[in-house]
Amino acid sequence: MADADSSPDIATRPEGDRIAKVLARAGVCSRREAEALIAAGRVAVDGQVLDSPALNVTPRARVTVDGKPIPAAEPPRLWRYHKPPGLVTTTRDPQGRSTVFEQLPATLPRVMSVGRLDLNSEGLLLLTNDGGLARHLEHPDTGWVRRYRVRVHGRVEPDRLAALDKGVTVEGVRYGPIKAALERQQGTNAWLIIALREGKNREVRRIMEHLGWTVTRLIRVGYGPFILGDLARGAVEEVPPRQLKDHLGKALHGGGGPPRRRRHPKG
């Protein structure tokens, strides 16, 4: 196998994008999967087989996978998907459970999820064909609020919800400020409105359990400026390009990146 680092024509050029990003933008695979393809010797640039993802390529480069040229890069696109409960947000599940990707229309291109919703959670899941855009939307420094309607079992004291605005530590994990309000109490069940920015794994469920309330239903209704609205369960709808441009600007072209970390994050 040829050594990519020994070729100054490829490895030393400063312009262009990383090879993994190029493969992801072309819809071939995710950036992580691209590293596996390269390690397997399946990716070549201008006829030279790569053995390292530490490489920038320009639009003029001829990139092939298994000897076949990769497709032209598609512009970044974004879809709203109403995830039903009972589906996992992974491409494959070792336990054989159904995934969201198995339920998507065959007309969709290869997409990836923006963040995740766990098996029993439902509601808004954003999908994109662009790995860079997915990372931008997921990054904590982007600062977009995730909004949920949550049903819990137990009697809720509003002052305990208000205290979450200062953040909370659960089993050694520190969670940032959370806006939480009681929507209504119905007997021993209550509906809450919760808004947070970090989106750590199972954050809402863990915090509610810490407060002594069991989550019986969790619905994401908003992710930044994108809302679930009246999108039917299981339905997919593309975000119009104009709306995407208005909300994301130069991040669509890889030039934005996540903003700098706020010194005093809002809740």
Q: Catalogue the active-site residues.
A: 118
Contact 70, 43 (CB under 8 A): no
Helix, strand, coil percentages for the chain (3-state, nearest 5): 25, 30, 45
Cβ burial 28-55 (10 Å sphere, 16+ → b, else e): bbbbeebbebbeeeebbbeebebbebeb
Q: Is 118 exposed, middle or buried (0-12, 13-18, 19+ CB in 10 A)?
A: middle
At a CB cut-off of 8 Å and minimum separation 6, what does 158 contact?
A: 181, 182
Give dist(CA 173, CA 184) in Å, integer.
29
